[in-house]
């Protein structure tokens, strides 16, 4: 499992860095699906250590930016996966990943987004 994690981490890291370079050339909102933080969550779910490089790189790349992780119930995420047609994740993994990350009620998430972005929250 560790060799697969290393390979997956390497591929994801390259993809994220390419996206970061492209995003640096633009103003405004950038949406990246599956950032390095997701890889760190995956490692926690798999009971693998975070390592040294990945946490450092995640913090370095994200320094000075606002990061928002949008959360949906595991069942909703699982139902959406076939529509992407790019990967497969078990419902058990999605539940475990969600349990290891923060969740919140929609109004609380909206209020937090408003604070982070300086926008006004409308319910």
Q: What is the pLDDT of residues 20-47, one digit of tens each?
A: 888 888 777 777 777 788 888 888 888 8
User: Quick check: 12 and 72 in contact, CB under 8 A?
Assistant: no
pLDDT at 5: 81
Q: What is the DSSP letter of 33?
A: S
List the domain boundaries for the chain: 2-117
Answer whether residue 85 shows pLDDT above 60.
yes
* Dist CA 122 CA 114 (whole Å): 9
User: Quick check: 17 and 61 in contact, CB under 8 A?
Assistant: yes
pLDDT at 101: 66
User: Quick check: 23 and 30 in contact, CB under 8 A?
Assistant: yes
Which residues are within 8 A (CB) of 58 and not within 5 positions of it... i.e. 6 or more apart? 35, 36, 37, 40
pLDDT at 121: 56
């Amino acid at each position: 499992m560790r060799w697969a994690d290393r390979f997956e981490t390497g591929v994801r890291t390259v993809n994220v860095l390419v996206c970061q370079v492209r995003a640096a050339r633009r103003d405004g909102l950038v949406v990246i699906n599956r950032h390095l933080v997701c890889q760190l969550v995956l490692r926690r779910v798999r009971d693998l250590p975070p390592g040294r490089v990945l946490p450092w790189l995640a913090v370095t790349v994200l320094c000075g930016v606002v990061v928002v992780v949008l959360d949906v119930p595991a069942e909703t995420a699982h139902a959406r996966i076939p529509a992407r047609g790019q990967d497969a994740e078990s419902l058990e993994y999605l539940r475990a990943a969600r349990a290891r990350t923060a969740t919140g009620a929609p109004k609380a998430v909206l209020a937090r987004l408003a604070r982070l972005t300086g926008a006004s929250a409308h319910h």
